[in-house]
Amino acid sequence: MFPFQKYQRLLRLCRNGVLAMILSSPLSASNGPWFQRHIVGMEVGPTGAQFGNSDPEDVRYCSRWDGREIVRKAKDANSEYLVIWARDGDFAYYDSEILPKAPGLGDRDPLREAVEEAKKCRLPLIAYCVVQQGGLFLKAHPEWEMKGQDGQPIGRFCYNSGYLEAMKKIVSELLAYGVDGLHVDMLDQGFGSPYGCWCQACQDQFQGQYGHDMPAGATWDEAWDEMLAFRYQTSEQFERRLAGHIRSVNPEATVDFNYHGNPPFSFEVGQRPVQHADNSDFVTGETGKWAFSALGVGLNAEFYRAATPGLPFQIAIQRGVRMYHDQTTRPLNDIRWELLLLLARGAFVTMVDKTGFDGWLDPVAYERIGKAFAEGKRKRDHFGQAPVYDMGLYFSSRTRDWKGREEPFRYFESFLGAHRVCAMEHLQFGVVLDENATLEGLKRFPVLCLPNAGILSNREVALFASYVKEGGTLLITGQTGQFDRLGRPLEAFVLSDLVGGNVRGRLDSQDNWVRLGKGDLQGLNEDLRENWPFLVKGPATEYVATTAQEAGELMAPYRTSRQMRGEDTSGWPMSAERSVGPAVLLNRVGKGTVLTVSSSPCVSTASEHAIVEARTLFRNAFRLLCPEPRVAIEAPSSVEAVVTDDPDARLLRIHFIACNQPPRTIPSHNRPYVIPGLIEDAPMFKVSLRLSDSPKKVETLNPSTEVNCRGKHIEALIEDIHETLVVAY
């Protein structure tokens, strides 16, 4: 019997150390629990009850849903574990004493079939169990329903109601089948308005905890701060109590919760990035171009890694083109791109298949999944090593809540844009979260970026000061550190000593401009036209230097007479009018350096007015701070690069994953929002690397790749979706 609880506690104690990275690697866990041993698996669920309130008399639904066949097909598709649907908001897919069974199943028990077949195949079997889905079970128990601020039901279960006891009974039924674990989905409190909960049970608990009534709504004051804390606490307690019950019934069974602490999710969901990632054996999240963008695939992996440092993280992808239940199948290269990118970033990956209405399994889907999984397993020795970082991207959940508020992309654009620069310029990035940031953790990053992190606590400011004084480099953008804990403008700038300047004002415009001259900081204007204003859309600050060196100009835009009278909007950019302060401040503090960009090239890069020059400004700022990274990479902007290190074997691995999307035509709905195309063809592209030391040997995984080494420089011509250069040093 594996001492799993001791293992998990050990990892939590070692979170920021080398031991945690070693233990979390799939390469070192051949004797550990299933999620330590396997890197690819499947989740199979039905299509037909996903929207709730289905017809319990429609016996066509799931009439061909067969647990044995699902296990066999998953095993044949090279799946190393299987998550099988057991409960949604309407039905059970097993013999339950609590829930109605899917009508087409009759006397059959697919979960029992699957468990028996999985044991024969030695395939770990995980039961999928939904928590939040409005449907027949919620309709049967209105006493457990969340209430919005207007007192009306909102189609969600309240976590402070008797629903927890019902969930305990449901998971106990599932555990009695001998499953290896439970995947518990949808722990949200609403993905937008209306969100809850103002039911009587919640009101009574809030009153008892804080000594006053709940605020009537989003008042964005001290009472609302308590309300947010109460909501986060409610979700956390529900997860911990349910996980505790599962472990009390079967200490060997794993439990994981689907996670919604990352962008695009905000306070409405009821989850913070760290607080709600750490309540199970590993965190599980989702990617997909249709919802999170092509860039969101790699970003989500690093976000989940940061939320649970030292622990494995599972990422679910789907075989469908548009979303989980759309009954389409992606091209093989589209699947390969997403799967291999996530494996390169250290995730273990679950492919979601949604069957036909009657439970039919698409043979083409399983054929393509099988080919992709076979490749992932064949390359498994090249996944799971420690990442090599150039830059840490700081995510402020406090800024998300109190500056983003009901429009979280007012903050998300900064973070997402900083990541987009890193991905397109091949800067190796990691994520740093305000909830668990430590000095030792910051020191892993040669450069730490604060992208428009408007709200910083005294603890955070002191942490950044220690990081810089001990030799760290800080890149600051936008209006970082200029607001108090409730999102109100501060009179005194909390980063003045680090920045080497004071805030004279904040521009009320978004269409701001930057102009760089010939005599500016060396390298800052590389690939940029001298004395040419270029748009850097986003928040901007008028700085006055004290100890910092100034460079370039921040320029405010023109406003027409109608705009100044409030008779016209300023949504479209106007041209530059006047200089209002420096574009960049460079300040030496202790052994370190702080570079402050008064505009928001991060926001600009993620915005609808993105231009290459704004991205170039951000890249040049990084290069000024870190002129000699361990691995400098030049590659097409559509190619994502991932660098990992195996110090024991003295091997660097540089993964290249090409997002070779074909162009799309005008969409029939929601123009001008174009859904990305599907990757059909393997591209040919050239990459160039400069290492800090000359390599002893360079090998490739693909025999077709051409490699040329000259001292510290490596060039390669690649013809595939994925390639890995294995560099001995």
Instruction: Write the single-letter amino acid at 119.
Output: K
Instruction: Write the single-letter amino acid at 681.
Output: D
Rounded to whole angstroms, the Cα distance separating 171 from 626 reads: 51
Q: Identify the pLDDT of residue 259.
A: 96
Residue with tokens 């400011």: 461
The CATH fold assigned to 389-629 is Rossmann fold (3.40.50)
How many H helices and E strands in the chain?
21, 32
Q: Comparing 7-11, 261-265, 714-718, which segment has the lowest mean pLDDT?
A: 7-11
Q: Is the pLDDT of residue 5 over 90?
A: no
Mean pLDDT of 197-220: 96
Q: Do 389-629 and 632-728 agree at the fold level?
A: no
Residue positions counted in the chain: 729
Q: Confidence band (pLDDT; 50, 70, 90) for 323?
A: confident
List pLDDT tens digits, range 271-318.
999 999 989 999 999 999 888 999 999 999 999 999 999 999 999 999
Rounded to whole angstroms, the Cα distance separating 223 from 218 reads: 9
Q: Identify the pLDDT of residue 485.
A: 97
Q: Identify the pLDDT of residue 13.
A: 39
Which residue stretches of 565-611 are H helix? 601-606
DSSP state of 19: H
Torsion 307-344-314-2 (CA) sign: negative
Q: Identify the pLDDT of residue 520.
A: 80
Helix (H) or strand (E) holding 537: strand 534-537
Q: Confidence band (pLDDT; 50, 70, 90) for 674?
A: confident
Q: Is the pLDDT of residue 522 over 90?
A: no
The CATH architecture that domain 632-728 belongs to is: Sandwich (2.60)
Mean pLDDT of 325-333: 95
Q: Confirm whether pTM is higher than 0.85.
A: yes
User: Would you kindly state where each structural domain of the chain is located, as residue ranges?
Assistant: 389-629, 632-728
Q: Identify the pLDDT of residue 2.
A: 36
Who wins on pLDDT, 262 or 11? 262
Burial of 231 (0-12, 13-18, 19+ CB in 10 A): buried
Mean pLDDT of 618-632: 97
Inter-CA distances, 559 with 107, 506, 510, 534, Å: 72, 16, 12, 17
List pLDDT tens digits, range 13-54.
344 443 344 334 444 445 789 999 999 999 999 999 988 889
Tell me the Cα Rg of the chain: 26
Q: Is the pLDDT of residue 519 over 80?
A: no
List pLDDT tens digits, range 374-406.
999 999 999 999 999 999 999 999 999 999 999
Q: Identify the pLDDT of residue 133.
A: 87
SS3 473: strand
Q: Identify the pLDDT of residue 18.
A: 36
Q: Name the average pLDDT for the chain.
A: 94
Q: Identify the pLDDT of residue 469.
A: 98
Q: Identify the pLDDT of residue 30.
A: 57
SS3 569: coil
Q: Where do the DSSP E strands lie in 399-510? A: 429-433, 447-451, 473-477, 501-506
DSSP string for 246-294: HHHH-TTSEEEEB---STT--GGGT--TTTTTSSSSSEEEE--HHHH-H
List pLDDT tens digits, range 75-131.
999 999 999 999 999 999 999 999 999 999 999 999 999 999 999 999 999 999 999
